[in-house]
A and B are shown apart, each in its own frame.
Chain A
Amino acid sequence: MKLSDKAEEILEALWIESEENGHGYAELDQMEFAPSDPAYQELSSQALVEIKGGRIYFRPEGREEGRKTIRRHRLAERLMMDVLNIRGESGDIKACQFEHLLNEGVDIKVCTMLNHPSTCPHGKPIPAGDCCEEARKTGDLGVVPLTEFNSGEEGDIAYIQTEDSKKMQKLMAMGVLPGNRITLLQSFPSYIFRVGFSEFAIDSAMAREIFVRR
């Protein structure tokens, strides 16, 4: 049964608090919605969460549901940024509305279109779906930002994603062009990469904008 938008948002908040921050639960009075909200009733009646002692816990099915919900949310964020180029606050708001439409297989399509991304625009992990596992098995590792590369790893530049067209021109004039071979030499304290016989240093903000195919 499809959950209400509010219930999905509660699952997301609980996922972050319980799983990502490692608390194992979330304090009810710190949730966005008041403890009296009927959405909690909805969740506990479907045996997804458990509320005791002012805290809210996942039940096993609930954890799986939370995982999927957070995945849809972050996929929506990526979609807003990578494809529709809506960024910042308005991107976040649109993503919040959009995520609720990404069920019944739409998420797989979006995930495949985005090439199975592993992080959201804010750098948080996107839990892998079946489609991601599948892609990994068949060796289609897809296009990732340079920040995902390990030192010493080689790949081809797929595209450059930047709002600043001047910066894009500069990068292209320096030889950072789609199709060129790129080797990441180092990723800390700055990213150092080699294209042809030249080396360049960039910061992580810039490295996030260069997409490479492994």
Chain B
Amino acid sequence: MALFKKKGSCHETPSVASSGARKVALVGNPNVGKSVLFNALTGAYVTVSNYPGTSVEVSRGNTVINGEQFEIIDTPGMYSVLPITEEERVAREILLNERPYLVLHVLDARNLERMLPMTLQLIEAELPVVLVVNIMDEAARMGLEIDIALLSERLGIPVIGAATAKKVGLPEIREAISKGTAAAACRFSYSKSLEADLGQISGLLKGEYMLSRKAISILLLQGDKEVAELARGAEGEGYPAIEAVVKEKRFERRESLHLDLSMERKRVVKGVLDGAFKAPAKRVVTLAEKISRLTVRPATGVPLLLIVLYFGLYKFVGDFGAGTLVDLLEEKGFKEFFNPWITGVVKHFVPWEMIQELFIGEYGIITLGIRYAVGIILPIVATFFLFFSMLEDSGYFPRLALLVDRLFKTLGLTGRAVIPMVLGFGCDTMATMVTRTLETVRERVIATLLLALAIPCSAQLGVILALLSKAPGALLVWSLCLLLIFLFIGLLAAKVLPGETPMFYMEIPPMRLPQLSNVLTKTYTRMQWYFMEILPLFVLASVLLWLGKITNFFETMVRALSPVMASLGLPKEVAVAFIFGFFRRDYGAAGLYDLQSHGLLNPRQLTVAAVTLTLFIPCVAQFLIMKKERGWKTAFAIGFFVSALAFGSGWMLNRFLLFTSIL
């Protein structure tokens, strides 16, 4: 699952400077190695942008082969030329509108039988198709024999066997791009009656299309609305007659058109593969499959999940990232070397104390903003994204999704939502953006709410863990509180919000060893995105805090908030952390850290403050993304609800802790 292949800007930008370069479209199912091939072909010159009018991302890059420049387009995964999802719609739009000079259909050698029907559709559309049978190495390991030459002969198009992850077949693919290929000629036919019906429709078509008339006829028969619109425009006066015939045929075939077509294509594929694809009589069970079994059985899957979380999140991100690295960067790097040095420099060049304050004061841009961003946040987020990208590339997420689907159903979500939820532990802002991959609006709203409320991001998590680990028991109370609120609000949201939870279905790609270069690229691009997003906010926050300090507005705010703090049983200084927290939650948590190190908080106060702050309003960036993805009404509603709930829970927790005197 490539969620954030290369995260550039989210603005709708036109394609790479493609001054007439010939376009090559990579198409195929998800998880067949399209992106790996794309990266191998294009190298570093890549743009990622939303396809106009959609939230679907399309990567484009240029490559030069034999002195000629080509634009490579990595289309979203598609299962069929008849689109169902938005991704598939975009992929087909590209085929229809961008007039690719070459279409590279990439498929998984192990699943030839299942994926060839789409090749048939591309051939029947008379597109210039070259078939890339990828992942040949894995297929060979499973004992599958594939006769590439025979396939090519039977299909009537160039076919290349490849293992792009191992760089096998790349020269041949480059060669094929350079040479190009003629529009495919369809060599197979469906049942007589189906062909007769299609002939009747295509005989009436007079317009010019990117796809063959036969393909257009099939899509019309399947009730494809976009193609119907296309035909209405292209046929002009002749359209009503075509529409009438299509209607009649659709009625005649209402019971089973989709099924009939699928069965016909299956029959054709069987013929094509006869003798060209041999599977061993006995299934070879690979090690990856054995591991896969372990990850999905509850008895082994749940302990495995805990192990992954313990070593991945707690040990690697928590101990190593938030502990060792932060110590190194923040304590040693900044406090001992960089800050004293920069303070000297600034004091030397800037004579006015007030301006000195802006850069190197208590809330200085450099001593606070940059220090937080680079010294605390960077190492935590970097380790988290490294961990996340490893999991993503290993194929673990679909397995996790099916493990938690039942539990998530009670919260009004399906297993699919596990990906934004886990990502939320890295960066809630990014996770909120990913909620758009969920199927229904209802699911997206619930996921957005839960992310805003109860999922602490890695930066915040790191600081809070460090903070609470000093007070035994506090960590436990904090985690229990969050878990309870997460489940309670999820259950409530599922009850209150109208609509049904959609069904869950997911392909489970084979488990594989993540490739280091891919993982690093992903981590890097995510880091880059993250840094571009937060650094300006940190600087802005520093400036605002500085302004607040010199104008005494800040003091006023703290005083205004002190009754609220008092009702939570907190000293008034904690208000500072909350004001910080509005800019970024981890900023606020870091503020608590300062307070605690000055000995201003007892364990109870620490726990109450940490819980309230974790639940409290998301950072400015997350709020802005919420507004962008869900609209301002939902965003404000969620923001308001979250703030009220945060202080309400803090108050209750304080009462509870006072009453029971656990801490």
Contact = CB atoms under 8 A, between A and B. Distances in A.
Tell me if chain B binds chain A.
Answer: yes
A198 B503 contact: no
A172 B258 contact: yes
Contacts of B117: 173
Contact of A173 (B80, B113, B409): B80
A179 B415 CA distance: 29
A211 to B, nearest CB: 13
A177 interface: yes
Interface in A188-212: 188-190, 192, 195-203, 205-206
Contacts of B398: 201
A167 interface: yes
B84 A170 contact: yes
Nearest to A188: B298
A127 to B, nearest CB: 29
B505 interface: yes
Contact of A175 (B114, B259, B401): B114
Interface string A120-150: 0000000000000000000000000000000
A169 B82 contact: yes
Given A190-B405, A196-B111, A170 B79 contact: yes
B504 interface: yes
Given A197-B142, A198-B507, A205-B503, A190 B406 contact: yes
Contacts of B82: 169
Interface in A79-117: none
A159 to B, nearest CB: 8
A174 interface: yes
B266 interface: yes
A13 interface: no
A179 B414 contact: no
B266 A201 contact: no
Interface centre among B110, B258, B407 (most CB of A within 10 A): B258
A181 B506 CA distance: 19
A44 B405 CA distance: 50
A202 B82 CA distance: 22
A36 interface: no
Contact of B401 (A170, A173, A201): A201
Contact of A197 (B84, B111, B503): B111
A13 to B, nearest CB: 30
Interface in B499-528: 503-508
A171 interface: yes
B107 to A, nearest CB: 12
A185 B407 CA distance: 20
Contacts of A178: 259, 263
B111 A175 contact: yes
B266 A165 contact: no
Contacts of A192: 296, 402, 508
A200 B114 CA distance: 13
A28 interface: no
A201 B114 contact: no
B419 to A, nearest CB: 14
A1 to B, nearest CB: 43
A196 B114 contact: yes
A214 B371 CA distance: 65
Given A168-B258, A170-B84, A206-B503, A199 B508 contact: yes
Contacts of A169: 80, 82, 84, 258
A201 B262 contact: no
B507 A174 contact: yes
Contact of B406 (A175, A189, A198): A189
Interface in B391-435: 398, 401-407, 409, 414-415
B297 interface: yes
Contacts of B508: 192, 198-201
A186 B504 contact: no
B446 to A, nearest CB: 17
A168 to B, nearest CB: 6
A166 interface: yes
B111 A202 contact: no
Contacts of B84: 166, 169-170, 173
B80 A201 contact: no
Nearest to A151: B297
A10 B148 CA distance: 68
A76 B403 CA distance: 36
Contact of A165 (B110, B258, B263, B415): B258
B262 A202 contact: no
Contacts of B263: 177-179
Contacts of A203: 405-406, 409, 414-415, 503-505
Contacts of B298: 188-189
Interface string B238-275: 00000000000000000000110011001000000000
A184 to B, nearest CB: 13
B113 A196 contact: yes
Interface string B480-514: 00000000000000000000000111111000000
B266 A189 contact: no
A208 to B, nearest CB: 10
Contacts of B401: 201
Interface string B89-123: 00000000000000000000011011001100000
A201 B404 CA distance: 12
A198 B111 contact: yes
A168 B398 CA distance: 21
Interface string A27-62: 000000000000000000000000000000000000
A201 B79 contact: no
Contacts of A175: 111, 113-114
Contacts of B258: 165, 168-169, 172
A185 to B, nearest CB: 8
Interface centre among B110, B298, B401, B402 (most CB of A within 10 A): B402
For the complex of A and B, the 10 pairs showing the least CB-CB separation, nearest first, are A175-B114, A173-B79, A201-B402, A190-B402, A197-B110, A203-B504, A199-B508, A173-B80, A172-B262, A202-B505
28 contacts: A169-B82, A169-B258, A170-B79, A172-B258, A173-B79, A173-B117, A173-B118, A174-B507, A175-B111, A175-B113, A180-B266, A185-B293, A189-B402, A189-B406, A190-B403, A190-B415, A192-B402, A196-B113, A198-B507, A200-B506, A201-B398, A201-B402, A201-B415, A201-B505, A202-B506, A203-B415, A205-B503, A206-B505
Interface of A: 165-175, 177-180, 185-186, 188-190, 192, 195-203, 205-206
Given A178-B259, A201-B504, A202-B506, 17 more contacts: A168-B258, A169-B84, A169-B258, A173-B117, A174-B507, A175-B113, A177-B262, A179-B263, A189-B403, A189-B405, A192-B296, A195-B114, A200-B505, A201-B415, A202-B503, A203-B505, A205-B503
